[in-house]
Amino acid sequence: MSYLTVEHLTKNFGGLSAVSNVSISVNEGELVGLIGPNGAGKTTLFNVLTGVYKPTQGKVILNKDGKSIELSKLPPYKITHQGVARTFQNIRLFKDLTVLDNVKIAMNQQAKYGLFGALTRLGKFYASEADIEQRAHEFLKKVNLDDLAYDLAKNLPYGKQRQLEIARAMATGAKLLFLDEPAAGMNPQETHALTEFIAKIRKEMDLTIVLIEHDMSLVMNICERIFVLDYGKLIASGTADEVKNNRKVIEAYLGEEE
């Protein structure tokens, strides 16, 4: 069985079927792309996969350590505890907090004390806090953001904010990442830096990545497999070349005024 299996997933908003009977699967270690014109239902699919919305129909199953977990039954925070994290199309950093605190919050599960320890600072409090702080710094070094550790997230340049959001998602301990338009609004230079960043972290940390891109070129470059959504339906899947030459895909993109 695949790492992630999406079975006949449907999400309706009133009369609108934003995601309609989509079935896909992703293997461990893969980097796959999810493309489609604006309003195709890509973000909605991510929202269902990460528990923000409950599916109208169908289910999402994660196969981890020989166990299959039905993600579609879990609230978002529990999905994150299963090693699945995401970024948002419109950056959602904790913008008034430092880069370091953004990462520490993602590492919150590692705290080894409860309310009593927090209030009295007895027991493992100091050791655990020092440990989290150190891990957060080590992690930031790994993703080349440690020199910005004490800057507020909102003061980072745009490209770095996107990068931090990905880093923060990884800091939860996630092995499966959903990135929603990570290159949106970037100039070619920033997009290039981001592409390298994604390739690097993926290799170093054994990640499985599903990436949404509205713009085809980035996806075509780095994704091994691509899924194409249009009006909520999966209209094609395959390698970049296969998808590029698919008639339905060409029509979907031509039909879009741009």
Partner 1 sequence: MKNLFSKKNLIWLGLLIVFFFLVQFLIDIRVITPYYRTIVYWVGIFIILGVSLNIIIGITGQLSLGHAGFMSIGAYSAAIVMQNMPDMTGLLLGMLIGGLVSILVSFVVAIPTLRLKGDYLAIATLGVGEIIRIVILNLEITNGASGISNIKNLISWPLLFVFVVLAVVLSANFKNSAIGRACISIKEDEIASEAMGIHTTKYKVIAFIFGAVLASVAGSLYATTYYVVKPETFGIATSINILIIVVFGGMGSLTGSVIATGFIGIINMFLQSFAEVRLITYALVLIVVMIFRPQGLLGSKEFGLDKILGFKPPFSKKLRKEKST
d(C-alpha 258, C-alpha 252), whole Å: 12
43 contacts partner 1 (rule: CB under 8 A): no
Residues 112-131 that bind partner 1 (CB under 8 A): 113, 115, 117-121, 125-126, 128-130
184 binds Mg ion (CB under 5 A): no
Partner whose binding site includes residue 8, from Mg ion, partner 1, ligand ADP, none (CB under 5 to 8 Å by kind): none
How far is it, in rounded angstroms, from Cα 189 to Cα 195? 10
Q: Which of positions 62-91 make contact with partner 1 (CB under 8 A)? A: 75-77, 80-81, 85-86, 88
Work out what residue 44 binds among ligand ADP, Mg ion, partner 1, none; the CB cut-off runs from 5 to 8 Å by kind: ligand ADP
Binding residues for partner 1, how many (CB under 8 A)? 46
When asked if residue 90 is in the footprint of ligand ADP (CB under 6 A), the reply is no
Regarding 216 and contact with partner 1 (CB under 8 A), the answer is no
Amino acid identity for residue 168 in this structure? R
Query: 72 to 91, contacts with Mg ion by CB under 5 A?
Result: 89
Nearest to 174 by CA among 202, 194, 135: 202
Among the listed residues 4, 6, 43, 249, the single contact to ligand ADP using CB under 6 A: 43
120/239 with CB nearer partner 1? 120
Distance CA 182, CA 233 (A): 22
Stretch that binds Mg ion, among 22-30, 41-49, 185-193, 220-228 (CB under 5 A): 41-49
> To 10 degrees, what angle do helices 158-171 and 188-205 make?
20
82 part of the interface to ligand ADP, by CB under 6 A: no
- Residue 116 touches which of ligand ADP, partner 1, Mg ion, none (Cβ within 5-8 Å per kind): none
Residue 119 binding partner per list ligand ADP, partner 1, Mg ion, none, with a CB distance cut-off of 5 to 8 Å that depends on partner kind: partner 1
Least Cβ distance, residue 40 to Mg ion (angstroms): 8
| Residues making contact with Mg ion (CB under 5 A) | 43, 89
| Residues making contact with partner 1 (CB under 8 A) | 50, 52, 75-77, 80-81, 85-86, 88, 92-97, 101, 104-106, 108-109, 111, 113, 115, 117-121, 125-126, 128-130, 132-134, 137, 146-147, 149-150, 168-169, 172
